[in-house]
Each structure stands twice: as C-alpha cells, then as structure tokens.
C-alpha cells in the first residue's frame, strides 16, 4: 500500500503545480480489499477552482 500512497503523493505534487490548484482536499473514504487480497483505497478528491 506504500506504493499506492507514493502514487497519490506524486499526483498531489504535480497537481499542486497545475493552474487549477486551489486547496484540494483528499480524503480516504474507505479501505477495501479487492481480488486476490489486494488492498485498495477509495479516494474522494474535492477541488475548489480559483
């Protein structure tokens, strides 16, 4: 799951540099286990545009 977190943080870093960036709120809604016991996180990304 660390890899997933890295992907998210990398995405957020790139996202913060985009012109649309305006205090995005990233929340983990729930952690669920999918096929073959692969952990997955469901995220909700709320972005208020400038």
Residues 9-31: tens digit of each pLDDT: 777 777 666 655 555 555 555 55
Which residues form the domain of 13?
2-46
Whole-model pTM: value is 0.26
Can you list the positions of beta strands (E) in 1-50?
25-34, 38-46
Distances (CA, A) of 38 to 13, 14, 34, 35, 42: 25, 26, 5, 6, 13
What distance in Å separates the CA atoms of residue 1 and residue 5, rounded to the nearest whole number?
6
Please count the structural domains in the chain: 1
Give the model's confidence band at 41: pLDDT under 50 very low, under 70 low, under 90 confident, else very high. low
> What percentage of the chain reaches a pLDDT higher than 90?
0
């Amino acid at each position: 799951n660390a890899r997933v977190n890295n992907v998210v943080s990398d995405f957020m870093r790139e996202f913060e540099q985009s012109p649309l960036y305006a205090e995005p709120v990233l929340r983990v809604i729930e952690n669920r286990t999918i096929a073959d016991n692969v952990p997955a996180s469901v995220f909700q990304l709320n972005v208020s545009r400038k």
